[in-house]
Amino acid sequence: MKKTSTRLADGRELIYYDLRDDAVRDAVDRRPLERTHTTSQTRRDVLLGDAVAVASHRQGRTYHPPADECPLCPTRGERLSEIPDSSYDVVVFENRFPSLAGDCGRCEVVCFTSDHDASFAGLTEEQARLVLDAWTDRTSELSHLPSVEQVFCFENRGAEIGVTLGHPHGQIYGYPFTTPRTALMLRSLAAHKEATGGENLFDAVVERELAGERVVLEGEHWVGFVPYAAHWPYEVHLYPKRRVPDLLALDEGARTEFPQLYLELLRRFDRIFGEGEPPTPYIAAWHQAPFGRLEEFDGVTRGDFALHLELFTIRRTSGKLKFLAGSESGMSVFINDVPPERAAERLREVASS
């Protein structure tokens, strides 16, 4: 992998990640852009103990542009975009309309390929490995920023999810705090450790699932399963079998195998609902240990946390979506219409030949 860092016309950082070591990235951003001005702030909800990002400048962000005006495609002739070069393998840049910025963290965009009509599931294993390496590098770089306490790499896919740009891409958020979902995991981890005299809760979950009926696919280094209490109609958690706290700690064996299993999992998601159905909308979310202090979580260290990826779709059956209505949105109590055991069975049924 070759990494080349440059700057866009408004001063934002852009990084090319190339498969070839001889790639030259010297194209200049020719757009007449002014420096970006953001109004991002985070506000703490004193009743719930969580935080809300307020970012009014995002109202003006690009919204469903036609394919020939996509800002994530390479620059071609006089058609200027966020990527100055005429081609790329993987590219990462600071979001022009960030939810978090400055002292409130950082937001980046990750373009998986220059092919506008592709998808992550259509990448080669070599391309998917490059994305993994980019996620890992950005996790390392962002972890050193004083305004970042937790790094979150994710992909939103599909208009049903709320995606406004059709080009295959994901995002990376550098939060200035430990996110509420991670804090819940850490509290459960601490309580289980104390109650069992030191047993790791993540290890116990993975061990239970390996012995059960909800495993979807398994390799030497990774296992993917539908969790016992899945929130979403089709939801798979992908864990490395050797517990590590973050992407940085994955060994070469796990890095090599990840593209094989993850691409197969994404392709199965696209086959869940049968032939002729549109691509399955999904969210793919990496969960990594925070880089901040963990004193509030009694006895828990970064090494106790288990890196994993959670992949889920909001489509519950052909042509129907799972909406977060009264119970989910009002009380955070999910109601799942698809039994996790049946979801796992279906995802095994659609395995590729």
β strands within the chain, DSSP E: 2-7, 13-18, 41-45, 50-54, 90-94, 106-111, 150-157, 169-175, 215-218, 222-225, 234-240, 282-287, 308-313, 315-317, 320-321
Residue among 37, 116, 144, 169 flagged as catalytic: 169
User: What is the SS3 assignment for 184?
Assistant: helix
Closest CA to 98 of 172, 4, 178, 180: 172
The values of phi and psi at residue 124, to 5°, are -80, 165
Q: Are 125 and 48 in contact (CB under 8 A)?
A: no
Q: Are 135 and 154 in contact (CB under 8 A)?
A: no
169 belongs to the catalytic site = yes
Report the amino acid identity of residue 126.
E
Q: How far apart are CA 55 and CA 41, in angstroms?
A: 7
Residues designated catalytic: 169
